[in-house]
Amino acid sequence: MKNKLEDLRNHLFETIEALKDKDNPMDLKRAAAIKDVAQTLINSGKLELEYIDITGEKASAFLPSSDRQRLPSPSVPRLVNG
Per-residue pLDDT tens listing for the chain (82 residues): 677 878 888 989 999 999 999 999 999 999 999 999 989 988 988 888 888 888 888 777 666 666 545 555 555 555 555 4
Q: What angle do CA 28, 29, 31 make, to 5 degrees?
A: 60
pTM across the whole model: 0.61
Give the residue extent of every domain in the chain: 5-68
Helical (H) or strand (E) element with 17: helix 5-20
Q: Which of 15, 50, 7 is nearest to 32 (CA)?
A: 15
pLDDT given for residue 8 in this prediction: 85
